[in-house]
Amino acid sequence: MRFKVYMINDLGHCHNETVIANNEREVKRNVQQINPRSKVLEAKWVYK
């Protein structure tokens, strides 16, 4: 499944990424490992 993840970093900059994973928990865990200083605001399932 494909998820669009919206994040904000400690400087206040917002950014988003599209991540492929099995479920929302896995998406949040993977994004936190890649961007440890960013906070996940929302993870939405998207269809292509």
- Give the residue extent of every domain in the chain: 2-46
Structure confidence by residue, pLDDT tens digits, 9-36? 989 999 999 999 999 999 999 999 988 9
Contact 1, 20 (CB under 8 A): yes
Q: How far apart are CA 3 and CA 31, in angstroms?
A: 11
**Do the Cβ atoms of 6 and 16 come closer than 8 Å?**
yes
Taken as a whole, the chain contains a residue count of 48
Question: 22-40: buried (b, 16+ CB within 10 Å) or exposed (e) per residue?
Answer: eeeeebbebbeeeeeebeb
Banded pLDDT at 41 (limits 50, 70, 90): very high
Provide the token pair at 37.
Answer: 């200083």
